[in-house]
Amino acid sequence: MRFKLIVAFVDDQQTQALVKAARDAGATGVTLINHARGEGLKPKKTFFGLNLELQRDVLLFVVEEHLARTVLEQLAETGQFDHTPGTGIAVQLDVEDVVGVAHQIESLSGKVEEKL
């Protein structure tokens, strides 16, 4: 099996909804990194030197390649990434090799066969 890495940078208030959406679309797990910071086209305003930006989370999904596009699209739809500026972004990267997912391959086989 081949895998993709989906990295999503999201508002921390959306994290749980996005994890659920990704799981519903075929993701078998997630690694969550809290307290990330980011800046888009327009820098965030400050108030007496204090940042007023929302807290961000980074979500990392290792997804079987045939399921990856569906997961990515579900993240974009649920998070409204293309409709509301500043809600988040997600990228998909090729994974050269992966270890530690042998226990997931059995459950993934059925899902992948359905996709093909």
CATH code of residue 101:
3.30.70.120
Please give the Cα distance from 32 to 39 (Å, whole number): 19
**DSSP for 21-88?**
HHHHHT----EEEEEE----SSPPPEETTEE-PPPEEEEEEEEEHHHHHHHHHHHHHHHTTTTSTTSE
**What domain range is 13 assigned to?**
3-115
Question: Total structural domains in the chain?
Answer: 1
This prediction has a pTM of 0.82
The residue to which tokens 């500026």 are assigned: 85
Using CA atoms, how far apart are residues 97 and 45, in angstroms rounded to an integer? 42
34-84 pLDDT tens trace: 988 766 666 666 666 565 566 789 999 999 999 999 999 999 999 999 998
